[in-house]
Structure 1
Amino acid sequence: MAPDSNSREQWSGKIGFILSAIGSAVGLGSIWRFPFVTGENGGGAFVLIYVVCVLLLGLPVLLSEIVLGRSTQRNPVGALRKRAPGTPWFLGGFIGITGTIIILAFYSTVGGWTLSYIWGALADGFGQMSIQQAEARFTQFISDPIIPILWQFLFMMLTMGICLFGLQNGIERTNKFLMPMLGIMLIILVIRGITLPGSGEGIRFILYPDWSSVTFNTVFEALGMAFFSLSIGAGTMVTYGSYLPKKESIPHAVKHVVLFSTLVSLAAGLAIFPAIFSLGYEPNTGPPLVYITLPAVFAQMPGGSLFAILFFFLLSVAALTSSISLLEVPLRYLEDEHGFSRKKGTLLAGGLIFLLGIFATLSFSTLSHVKGIAGLPIFESMDFIASNVLLPLGGLVFILFAGWKWGIRQVFDAAKGEDGKGLPAQLFWEWIARWVTPVLILIVFLFQVLSNL
């Protein structure tokens, strides 16, 4: 039986919620994925399209998820079941929970890589490593069947440890400490990047649009990046919203989350691309940009050892603030729907996710011959299922529920806090949320699925 919502944990206030929501949104997607996707899609033009998509796609879904959580004081499954009893809408909550489990399983693999690179930066600062040596180092590391699992285990222990301390003492306190630290480190890295000799070309690359490089794929990539960089579609914001006091204004919080998560993505680009161009590397090297290209960049940069430590610590902070929000979703489901204690739910959910994540880690070594969806390795199959199927479907369910089942006018009215203020131009945003956002999500979903089959 679900517990009494009056006894439910709550954020201590607006700042705690905003920082935690930003922490959920600002993960490896913002600092690892955004730069390499930008590099592959021409720079500034992609950035502008991405910002537009954040507003048209991300903001309405984000607001709807938080409102659903706060109004019901439940996890994604319980929230949809409470708001629409006796209907199959609650299945959308299971889509989100399944997505978070799969994402955290392979996410913990990458989180472990990042922790190991902090150790590497502390040990030798990557020396005078060439890009060929950096590639060999990375390949040797992920090909080992044991060491990456140990780092993955450490990453999951950190995630579970924070969740065990509870909402205010664990998740909120961690985000209040780590998010300002992340901001300071990013500012330092941006200043260092833009002051390197020859960095102007990198600045122009990310800030000045080259429309000749834009294709249909660029637009779809920007739509997808906006969707995933805000941590929407998986129910994390429904869960976080369920801890938000009734007095707080959701539109006010959403504007801050959208603004700061977008700024972090842009700052990551400004920290990385000027350094890459300054030292003559290519920006379109894809996912290995962080683990292969950047160590070579740091090795040649004046003071590179210090900045390597800062960057990989920054990446670990971003990974951790997202991973705790991902674990909170199945954990909260077990608490709400099955009466688990936080300790029991954390250990069960976290332990099972770690075991599932071992398969993702071993897909680069012992299980490299095993193929999954569309002939992809296990790691990439898990990424495809979660990112290209479950998250878009979850986001589509939440926005359709808000716009057509519950009623978008009621959603926006429920978003207001004690001050009674909603989003400016509310009628415009109601139209966007009801008509434009669902169509865009459906286009992204169909394109990503069909192009990968």
Structure 2
Amino acid sequence: MAAGSDQANWSSRWTFIMAAVGSAVGLGNIWLFPFKAGQSGGAAFVLVYLAFSFLIGVPLLMTELSLGRRGRMSPIGSMKKIAAEEKRSPLWGLIGWSGVLGAFIILSFYSVVGGWTLAYMIKAIMGFQGLDAAGATSMFSDFIGHATEPLVSHAIFMGITMYIVARGVQGGLEKAVSLMMPALFGLLVLLVVYAALTGAFADALAFLFTPDFGKLTPAVVIDALGQSFFSLSLAMGSIMTYGAYLNRDVKIGPSALTIAAADSTVALLAGLAIFPIVFQFGISASGGPGLVFMSLPIAFGQMPGGQIIGTLFFALLSMAAITSSISLLEPAVSYLEHSWKINRKKSALTIAAAAFALGILSALGQEGNMLGNVRIFGQSIMDAKGYLTNNIMMPLGGMFTALFVGWFVSRKAMADELALTDAQFRFWYTIVRFVAPIAVFLVFLSVTVL
């Protein structure tokens, strides 16, 4: 679809907000956030994560949305177009390439984990009764070590993602998020209420909201930064692509605040749904990814109504994964549409097939599987992809996006696009010009050099 008058648009501000929140709310909130908080000591990590989300994340959300709406193309096309309009080097288009490539890499392993959630939803329906620690570990190990089961679930998840994106902005993306997002929030609130009534809720509150700053290290800070970027879908092309479909009458500032607030709320609610169960059953809060796939099934097998709660929990995970995965597929599909004039269905099929093929390495790279012993700089294939995107590509992409807008795009153009008050614009401009790039650079440097 060419840019211009025939550009696809969101039908309303509400559907755009739901789509953007759906992009932000995913496994990063419900799967990654709880175990990262657990590994990093709880509340100190949470506070740093929230600080990054609102002080840096919101201004960068506004930046990406404004670039997308001005460019009205894929991230690659928008960055090239705006750089040309501002008489800047075409090399700034590399920011768009980095975002699209990052989203593609993330989708390749995200779909594998999304497939796990679908598989475990079926396992939850069958019931986890009588499952002990050894049994839960064996169940997960056998599943990820199987030659075909992870590939089948990966294929099903990618197929669902492809189908939604292939149907277009209003026919696919909007319809999916309009159904899934209300259901996702409803399920999450239901699980929090259940955890409050039956779990160690006071312990969870203390863990999440009583900080121990002695636990903060450079590694924890970079994890919080990467988590905020991953959680808000920053620097991966998704937000810029969604901005390209945004009508001129939608105010970007309030929309970005709403997205960040909803995203952070879901992350905290996920912690309040998971940690009361974790503490009630004596499960380690720092259990890593296995917290969801090995530890919680034990609790679901022991608690009253655990079969229903377990099914609802993995249904929640699956829906969150899908609303994010469609935003990861969309940037590359948009690029093929705008730059190569390939129709949406063929574009979706092409990119999804390529991401599935790359994801096979992640699926087979799990412990006990045929590529389980492969290490990239000491990490598994999936972990290496995650480190490359979360800790390197996204922070650097966000930093260069801020530098581009703060120093190489005219101030008047950004003021016209954002339509903020003078005070609001000065605050946003200061963050984008100075605070965001310096903060990201220093935190990135502290880990990669020190």
Kindly provide the CA deviation profile for residues 355-380 of structure 1, in whole angstroms up to 9, marking residues without a partner as x. 111111111211123332x1322222
- The aligned amino acid for 1:52 is A
Quick check: 1:405 aligned with 2:404? no
- The aligned amino acid for 1:367 is L
The 1:423–1:336 alpha-carbon spacing in structure 2 relative to 1, beyond 3 Å, is: farther
Shift of 1:217: 3.2
Q: Partner of 2:101 in structure 1?
A: 98
The one of 388, 395, 400 aligned to 2:398: 395
Take 2:387 and 2:213, find their aligned partners in 1: how far apart are those partners? Answer: 29
Kindly provide the CA deviation profile for residues 71-118 of structure 1, in whole angstroms up to 9, marking residues without a partner as x. 110111111111112521001111111111111001111011110000
2:297 alignment partner, SS class: helix
Quick check: 1:70 aligned with 2:73? no
- The aligned amino acid for 2:285 is P
The answer to whether the 8 Å contact 1:251/1:422 transfers is no
Take 1:251 and 1:188, find their aligned partners in 2: how far apart are those partners? Answer: 31
2:249 alignment partner, SS class: coil
The one of 408, 413, 418 aligned to 1:415: 418
- The aligned amino acid for 2:160 is L
The 1:265–1:408 alpha-carbon spacing in structure 2 relative to 1, beyond 3 Å, is: farther
Q: Partner of 2:115 in structure 1?
A: 112
Shift of 1:45: 2.2
- Name which of structure 1's ranges 378-387 and 240-249 shifts more when overlaid on structure 2: 378-387
Shift of 1:422: 5.1
The 1:319–1:197 alpha-carbon spacing in structure 2 relative to 1, beyond 3 Å, is: closer
Quick check: 1:126 aligned with 2:128? yes
Take 2:220 and 2:42, find their aligned partners in 1: how far apart are those partners? Answer: 10
The answer to whether the 8 Å contact 1:408/1:434 transfers is no
1:178 alignment partner, SS class: helix
The one of 367, 370, 374 aligned to 1:370: 374
Take 1:424 and 1:287, find their aligned partners in 2: how far apart are those partners? Answer: 43
The answer to whether the 8 Å contact 2:10/2:247 transfers is yes
The answer to whether the 8 Å contact 2:43/2:212 transfers is yes
Quick check: 1:221 aligned with 2:223? yes
Runs of 4+ with deviation above 4 angstroms: 421-424
The 1:211–1:369 alpha-carbon spacing in structure 2 relative to 1, beyond 3 Å, is: closer
State percent identity of aligned pairs: 39
Take 2:41 and 2:56, find their aligned partners in 1: how far apart are those partners? Answer: 22
Q: Partner of 1:79 in structure 2?
A: 78
Take 1:236 and 1:4, find their aligned partners in 2: how far apart are those partners? Answer: 17
Q: Partner of 1:315 in structure 2?
A: 317
Kindly provide the CA deviation profile for residues 248-292 of structure 1, in whole angstroms up to 9, marking residues without a partner as x. 111121111011000000000000111111122221112211111
- The aligned amino acid for 1:441 is V
- Name which of structure 1's ranges 47-56 and 137-146 shifts more when overlaid on structure 2: 47-56
Structure 1: runs of 5+ lacking an equivalent: none
Q: Partner of 1:277 in structure 2?
A: 279
Take 2:266 and 2:116, find their aligned partners in 1: how far apart are those partners? Answer: 21
The answer to whether the 8 Å contact 1:408/1:433 transfers is no
Kindly provide the CA deviation profile for residues 310-329 of structure 1, in whole angstroms up to 9, marking residues without a partner as x. 11000000100010000001
TM-score by length of 1: 0.94
Take 1:441 and 1:408, find their aligned partners in 2: how far apart are those partners? Answer: 22
Shift of 1:446: 3.0
2:117 alignment partner, SS class: helix
The one of 378, 381, 384 aligned to 1:381: 384
1:406 alignment partner, SS class: coil
1:6 alignment partner, SS class: coil
Q: Partner of 1:248 in structure 2?
A: 250
- The aligned amino acid for 1:73 is R
2:262 alignment partner, SS class: helix
Shift of 1:411: 2.0
Quick check: 1:324 aligned with 2:326? yes
The 1:447–1:317 alpha-carbon spacing in structure 2 relative to 1, beyond 3 Å, is: farther
Take 2:319 and 2:9, find their aligned partners in 1: how far apart are those partners? Answer: 23
The 1:197–1:319 alpha-carbon spacing in structure 2 relative to 1, beyond 3 Å, is: closer
Structure 2: runs of 5+ lacking an equivalent: none
- Equivalent residues, number: 444
Kindly provide the CA deviation profile for residues 423-447 of structure 1, in whole angstroms up to 9, marking residues without a partner as x. 9633122111110101122233334
TM-score by length of 2: 0.95
- The aligned amino acid for 1:403 is G
1:346 alignment partner, SS class: helix
Shift of 1:395: 1.5
Shift of 1:394: 1.8
Mapping of residues 146-185 of structure 1, within 5 Å: 146-185=148-187
- The aligned amino acid for 2:402 is I
Kindly provide the CA deviation profile for residues 401-427 of structure 1, in whole angstroms up to 9, marking residues without a partner as x. 1111114553243123xxxx5596331
Mapping of residues 438-449 of structure 1, within 5 Å: 438-449=437-448
The answer to whether the 8 Å contact 2:164/2:172 transfers is yes
Quick check: 1:20 aligned with 2:24? no
Take 2:286 and 2:68, find their aligned partners in 1: how far apart are those partners? Answer: 39
2:371 alignment partner, SS class: coil
Shift of 1:43: 1.4
Shift of 1:338: 0.8
